[in-house]
Amino acid sequence: MIPLRCLLGAVCACLLLQDVVPALAEVGPAPSSSIARIDIGVTEWFSQGDTVWSHNASGLNPDLGNPSSKLKYKDTGTNVTEITGRVQLKNKIFLRGAFGYGSIGGGRLTDDDFLSAQGAAAQGATVSGEHRFSRTYSDIGGDNLWYLNGDVGVTAHTFQNNKGSLGVFAGVQYWRERHVATGITQAECTTPSAPTPAFQCAPVGTVGFRNQAVITNTATWFSGRMGGEVEYKFDSRLSVEAKVALLVSYLNNEDVHHFRTDLAQDPSFRMTGLGVGTNSDFNVRIKIWERLYLTGGYRVWWNRVIAGDQWKFYGSDGSQNTAPLTQFQTLRHGPTVGLTYSF
């Protein structure tokens, strides 16, 4: 994980700015300048993430259930360091950008596979009817996430007595998460002696591929976003801020199953689809020094596929097959703390 010293270093940098650029801050933009204010900030987001997806391949093989497989990457704790910039123009238009990066520090992958009633009988399962015939666990050994946001907006209303403002904005977001799962622990198995090798699973308690990468998953969301924001000032030192954006997103997700000899390796599976989501932030902002502000709050990011969904299989022999996704969702949330310098 990214250490908190990044944030402490930012405190020192902002304090140095107090001594290095006071003259520039006091003079401000030239009278002819179109810039009213510039904000530069650094934020640490102490986030937890979950990504879950499933597909229905029963149309390709009637022995498979619906869903046929479900994978959940859970509790992927990540400290994200974010750098932001915002330029407020005198004509009430503002421009804003953000870059965030974090190393994924842990979590668990749960991999479930399902049989139809026909499949349970054909594969000699110890449980009859449609059911989950295999569950395995893997540790999340890495990797990382990063994102880019860019917005253009306008201040639509200013409260009386300079108590704050309402704004609307539109922009784009690129959000990428990469997980590396290591080892396999068999938690459930009803088909240890299945006649078809693809349906065989190891006895419960079996541990294999310890500390070896078994699955690499890369989920990428490219989104257009529209939203609104509000700032309300209680006094010159204390204010609250909230931003909510609605997203229309395109998903590209790729899985590589490193020890599946029947699958291609770049990738093994690909999932695509169109979805919706939201970015929501709430912050309390406290002035701690001249032009230096401390912020703290909570953030929720969420995306889910709702249309145009497709799961694609790539065989090691060059074969390809497609089936519908039944679910794909990414959620990340957690508290934030940061510093903002305004001039």
- The CA-based angle 100-103-86, given to 5 degrees, is 10
**Token pair of 26 as six digits:** 């006091």
* pLDDT the model gives residue 75: 83
75's torsion region: left (phi>0), alpha (psi -120 to 50) or beta? Answer: left
Of all residues in the chain, what percent carry a pLDDT higher than 90?
85
Q: Is the Cβ–Cβ distance between 300 and 333 less than 8 Å?
A: yes
Least confident of 8-17, 209-218, 248-257: 8-17
Nearest by Cα to 245 from 175, 171, 331: 171
* pLDDT the model gives residue 55: 97
* pLDDT the model gives residue 241: 96
Alpha-carbon gap, residue 233 to 164, rounded angstroms = 6
Alpha-carbon gap, residue 48 to 73, rounded angstroms = 11
* pLDDT the model gives residue 8: 40
Confidence grade of residue 141 (pLDDT, cut at 50, 70, 90): confident
Does residue 6 carry a pLDDT above 80? no
Residue range 107-133: mean pLDDT, rounded = 97
Does residue 100 carry a pLDDT above 50? yes
Alpha-carbon gap, residue 153 to 156, rounded angstroms = 9
Does residue 20 carry a pLDDT above 80? no
Residue owning tokens 């074969």: 319
Q: Is the Cβ–Cβ distance between 279 and 246 less than 8 Å?
A: no
Confidence grade of residue 106 (pLDDT, cut at 50, 70, 90): confident
Least confident of 16-20, 101-105, 285-289, 300-304: 16-20
* pLDDT the model gives residue 32: 55
Residue 21 DSSP symbol: S
**Which domain covers residue 136, as residue numbers?**
5-342
Residue owning tokens 């002696």: 193
Confidence grade of residue 126 (pLDDT, cut at 50, 70, 90): very high
Residue owning tokens 């597909």: 55
Which of the pair, 143 or 328, is modelled with greater confidence? 328
Alpha-carbon gap, residue 259 to 254, rounded angstroms = 16
Which of the pair, 316 or 23, is modelled with greater confidence? 316
* pLDDT the model gives residue 316: 95
Does residue 136 carry a pLDDT above 80? yes
Residue owning tokens 């000899």: 261
Q: What are 26-62's pLDDT values in tens digits?
A: 444 445 589 999 999 999 999 999 999 999 999 999 9
What amino acid is encoded at 117 in this protein?
A: A
* pLDDT the model gives residue 5: 41
What is the end-to-end Cα distance of the chain in Å, rounded? 32
* pLDDT the model gives residue 3: 43
Residue range 172-200: mean pLDDT, rounded = 96
* pLDDT the model gives residue 236: 86
CB atoms within 10 A of CB 225: 20
Q: What are 277-326's pLDDT values in tens digits?
A: 999 999 999 999 989 999 999 999 999 999 999 999 999 999 999 999 99
- Residue 101 has, within 13 A of its CA and on its CB side, a CA count of 5
Q: 58: domain CATH number?
A: 2.40.128.90
For 12, list phi and psi in degrees, rounded to 5.
Answer: -60, -40
Q: How many domains does the chain have?
A: 1
Q: What are 236-250's pLDDT values in tens digits?
A: 899 999 999 999 999
